[in-house]
């Protein structure tokens, strides 16, 4: 939807708006899953503080933490 509404477009009154008009529930559910994954990753101090010097070791530890979270919670 454009920032400036087009001429002749119906803009509902605030009293007629429902919570479904503000956000897409399916998209919000997917976002919630992603936020939980990041929260589980940050439980590991090594990932949250980024102690590793090399990118490859950091990425491998992230993969290990994701594998651990998958087997524990799924």
pLDDT tens digits in sequence order for the chain, 74 residues long = 455 555 555 566 666 666 665 667 788 888 888 888 888 888 888 888 888 888 888 899 989 988 988 888 77
Total residue length of the chain: 74
The pTM for the full model equals 0.54
* C-alpha neighbours within 13 Å on the C-beta side of residue 69: 17
How does DSSP assign 6-63, residue by residue?
A: PTT-----GGG--GGGTS-HHHHHHHHHHHHHHHHHTTSHHHHHT--SSHHHHHHHHH
């Amino acid at each position: 939807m454009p920032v400036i509404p087009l001429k002749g477009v119906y803009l509902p009154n605030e009293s007629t708006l429902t919570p479904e008009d503000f956000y897409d529930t399916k998209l919000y559910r997917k976002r919630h899953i992603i936020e939980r994954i990041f929260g589980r990753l940050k439980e590991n101090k090594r990932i949250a503080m980024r102690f590793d010097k090399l990118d490859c070791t950091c990425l491998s530890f992230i993969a290990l933490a994701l594998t651990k979270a998958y087997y524990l919670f799924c």
